[in-house]
Amino acid sequence: MADALLPTITTTGYYTDARYRAYPGDGYDGVVRVSFGGYYGTGTLLYDGHAVLTSAHLFEGRTGTAYVTFQTPSGTQTVSTTKILQHPGYDAENSNNDLAIVWLPEAAPVDADRYEIYRESDEIGQVFTFSGYGGTGTGITGEIIPGGLIRHKAANQFDADAAELKDHLGPYMAWTPWPGTQLIADFDSGTSSNDALGQLIHRYDRGLGLYEGLIAQGDSGSPAFLQNKVAGVANYVATLSGGSIDPDVDDFINSSFGEIAACQRVSAHQQWIDQSLRAEYPNAPTRPEEVQKAVVEGDSGTTYAYFLLQFIGVRSDPNEILSVDYATRDGSALSGSDYLAVSGTLNLYPDENQAVMPVEIIGDSTPEPSESFYLDVFNPVGGSFGDGVVQLTAERTILNDDLWPA
């Protein structure tokens, strides 16, 4: 038997314990509350500073304005937007492709964390941290307090691909996840009796003790972090049983011990995410002669300085991804005060030979000399920079537009 619930965070210990709070400044300031049409969930600010990744089912069958709330060291700020993109392959019945991107009308607060996406396919067996604005409770009680503007966090482990669970349960599982696209975790109490995936598919694990938790209502769209990168996007909670197997501590779908949670596997959707963001970069260069090597800083918020990567060589395999790693480096301009540092991996997908990398320049009204910083590109996979070339470097100048006192 199987039932599903839109996802909050329930924890092994008492949910008021400080270990479960994600306070401003703790590294979760890009985890935001997303409200729409009388419902709310959670989202994650992505690496471009303008896009919030969340779940498509938050917007299913409704129209209107989305409200995105940030809680950062500088305070609480809510912005509104009507620009929402649901994954074109969203399949509500089976929770496949349950992803959406919400675009902010302007750059996110400077002190909001931006997150890269996890690109490897080695998630299963790894411990992740998730964070969200959902309701709270314990593994014994399940969710008992509705969510609000309090951000929590807990940990769990990716135990299996959801399609593997379907292979084992067949008709006892009412939905059909596509292979390789959904990751599942169970809520372990430390005893074998509540080890759902141990009993159901022989993935035995007793959990993480007091650090273990599970998503619940209000956590739809919340991130699962591996190495501070978004590896999963929360979608649903379920209670599963078959024959004599019944691991749920209370047989209610309430995010209690013995239930499972599923999230979209971000690494399986990275092409849609990357290309969706690239399509929205304002005034992005498409040819080398369009690249602006000097950018005016502005008086507030952030503006983009673009770097254009073009590949004109021969791919190792034209049907595979060509990737490079990149990282900004200080010159006279300093990260955190003049620009927001970035580092990550850029993919050129089959039939792509170029892409832009944006870096956010921080605006201020303080007169100062024009300053510069660098972007290093290295570690090409699927192609090369040329014989003997191991790194490419480009420079950008931030032009001061503030008047010096006479």
**pLDDT tens-place string over residues 24-59:** 999 999 999 999 999 999 999 999 999 999 999 999
d(CA 235, CA 95): 7
Q: How far apart are CA 184 and CA 265, in angstroms?
A: 9
**Rounded CA gap, 77 and 97, in Å?**
29
Whether 309 shows a pLDDT value over 50: the answer reads: yes
Confidence band of 401 (pLDDT split at 50, 70, 90): confident
Q: Which residue shows structure tokens 């691909």?
A: 161
pLDDT at 183: 98
Q: Within 13 A of 298's CA, how many CA atoms are on the CB side?
A: 13
For the chain, what is the mean pLDDT?
93
Q: Is the model more confident about 16 or about 124?
A: 124
Reference 332, options 252, 400, 253, 378; nearest CA is 400
Kindly report the pTM of this predicted structure: 0.95
pLDDT over 60 (residue 302):
yes
* Kind of pairing between the strands at 2-5 and 9-11: unpaired
pLDDT for 2: 38
How far lies 138's CA from each of 90, 216, 232, 313, 347, in Å?
32, 11, 22, 56, 41
Q: How, if at all, do strands 75-81 and 66-72 pair?
A: antiparallel
- Give residue 11's pLDDT band: very low, low, confident or very high (50, 70, 90): low
- How far apart (Å, rounded) are the C-alpha atoms in residues 361 and 302? 5
**pLDDT at position 151 over 60:** yes
Q: Quick check: 179 pLDDT over 50? A: yes
pLDDT band at 6 (very low <50, low <70, confident <90, very high): very low
Tell how strand 160-161 and strand 66-72 pair up.
unpaired
What would the mean pLDDT of 61-78 be, rounded to a whole number?
Answer: 95
Give the percent of the chain with pLDDT over 70.
Answer: 95
Q: What is the three-state SS of the chain?
A: CEEEECCCEEECCCCCCHHHECCCCCCCCCEEEEEECCEEEEEEEECCCCEEEECHHHCCCCCCCEEEEEEECCEEEEEEECCEEECCCCECCCCECCCEEEECCCCCCCCCCCECECCCCCCCCCEEEEEECCCEEECCCEEEECCCCCCEEEEEECCEEHHHHHHHHHHHCCCCCCCCCEEEEECCCCCHHHCHHHHHHCCCCCCCHHHEEECCCCCCCCEEEECCEEEEEEEEEEEECECCECCCCCCCCCCCCCCEEEEEEHHHHHHHHHHHHHCCCCCCCCCHHHCCCEEECCCCCEEEEEEEEECCCCCCCCCCCEEEEEEEEECCCCECCCECCCEEEEEECCCCCEEEEEEEEECCCCCCCCEEEEEEEEEEECCCCCCCCCEEEEEEEEECCCCCCC
Q: Which phi-psi region, left, alpha or beta, contains residue 298 (left: φ > 0; alpha: ψ -120 to 50)? A: left
Give the sign of the dihedral formed by CA 53, CA 54, CA 55, CA 59.
negative
pLDDT at 153: 95
Please tell me which residue, 214 or 16, carries the higher pLDDT value: 214
* Distances in whole angstroms, Cα of residue 167 to Cα of each of 2, 172, 234, 340: 14, 10, 22, 45
- Give pLDDT tens digits for 372-396: 999 999 999 998 888 889 999 999 9
State the average pLDDT over residues 167-188.
96
pLDDT band with cut points at 50, 70 and 90 for residue 365: confident
pLDDT of residue 206: 94
Instruction: Give the confidence band of 4 by pLDDT, cuts at 50, 70, 90.
Output: very low
